[in-house]
Amino acid sequence: MAIRTCEDCGTQLEDTAINFPVYKKRVQKCLGCVVTLRRQAADAKREKQARRMGRLETAAVDTLLTASRKGGTNIPHSAELLEQLMVCFGGVNGFSQLLLKNYFDAPAGSGQRTKIMEMITKLVTVNADQGGSKKPLALWSEDELENELDIRIRQAVGMPVLTLEVVSETAAVDPGNV
């Protein structure tokens, strides 16, 4: 068999397809050099993605801080703040993708994964506590709107909140209740 010399490292190996795989339409690099070049290319791609994510995060924080510094009526409330955050990170989809990327980039069982899960749990809990899991206001019936308004007025003036129980028609005409 013929001997070939790698043009990168200078190693002399038998001229076979295993020792000198085709790399970018050239066959002058040995397998070790090809593997090294592919690893370097993958590392460069990961670094490029990390820089892109860093720029995205920096731009999002800068946009949020700029919006928050305006003061007066432009100071965002919690819902507006969350909405602005979502816009800065590319909407709900962009934010969730970034969150998932960070979650899966972290080692399994790591503190970072635990913190991400805690953050998601807190977001869901706060959203539910603030009524995010309730039926949208546009879909409420007149009775539901009046009941909610009554509850809020009573809370505002410090009166006890009375909840009305709906009595079924059969219970209303039961002779034992008369």
The answer to the question of residue 30 being in a domain is no
d(CA 109, CA 117): 11
Instruction: Write out the two tokens for 153.
Output: 């007025």
Confidence (pLDDT) at 39: 93
Q: Please check whether residue 146 lies inside any domain of the structure.
A: yes
pLDDT digits (tens, 9 = 90+) for 37-91: 889 999 999 999 888 888 888 887 777 777 666 555 555 566 677 777 788 888 8
Q: Decide if 42 contacts 54 (C-beta within 8 A).
A: no
**Average model confidence (pLDDT) across the chain:** 78
Specify if 149 maps to a domain: yes
Is residue 57 assigned to a domain? no
Can you give the pLDDT at residue 6?
Answer: 87
Backbone angles phi and psi of 53, in degrees to 5: -65, -40
Tell me which residue of 35, 30, 33, 37 sits closest to 12, measured CA to CA.
Answer: 30
26 DSSP β-pair partners: 23
H or E stretch covering 43: helix 31-69
Contact 88, 60 (CB under 8 A): yes
Look at residue 153 in the predicted model and tell me its pLDDT: 84
Q: How far is residue 147's CA from residue 153's CA, in Å, rounded to a whole number? A: 10
For residue 29, is it within any domain? Answer: no
Its domain, for residue 141, covers: 136-165
Q: Is 82 a domain residue?
A: no
When divided into structural domains, the chain yields a total of: 1
Rounded to 5 degrees, what are φ and ψ at 162?
-100, 130
